[in-house]
Amino acid sequence: MSSSQIPRTIEAGDFLTSVQNIVTRVEDLIPAVAILVVGVAVVMVYAKSRALVPTLVALLIGGLVVWGISDVTWFSNGVGGVFTNSGAGAPTPHDLIALVTAGRSA
């Protein structure tokens, strides 16, 4: 069997590494696209209204959106602290009945 007839294989590690690299590039591109979209939106608001207040409001909201996109780790850490999974699973029906009866007696 010649080398041209041997099927070419793709290693799973190489594939996952290339996909991870693509995802990283896209994640780096998202804030730039958000800034571009916010800039276009602010210019459109100014072109339609020719007023300072709506333009500043659009700029403020756009800035909040860009900040939220850029600082998504801050949001995930904040939300992760609120919704923690203890690994205990769902409560049993007996636990729910005890909770409801305890609430009635209080």
Domain locations along the chain: 1-84
Q: For 3-14, what is each residue's pLDDT tens digit?
A: 566 556 666 677
The rounded distance, in Å, linking the Cα atoms of 31 and 29 is 6
Whether the full predicted model's pTM is greater than 0.85, yes or no, is no
Exposed/middle/buried for residue 24 (C-beta within 10 Å: 0-12, 13-18, 19+): exposed
Q: Which residue has the higher pLDDT, 63 or 104?
A: 63
The rounded distance, in Å, linking the Cα atoms of 35 and 23 is 19
Most confident region among 45-54, 76-85, 95-104 by mean pLDDT: 45-54
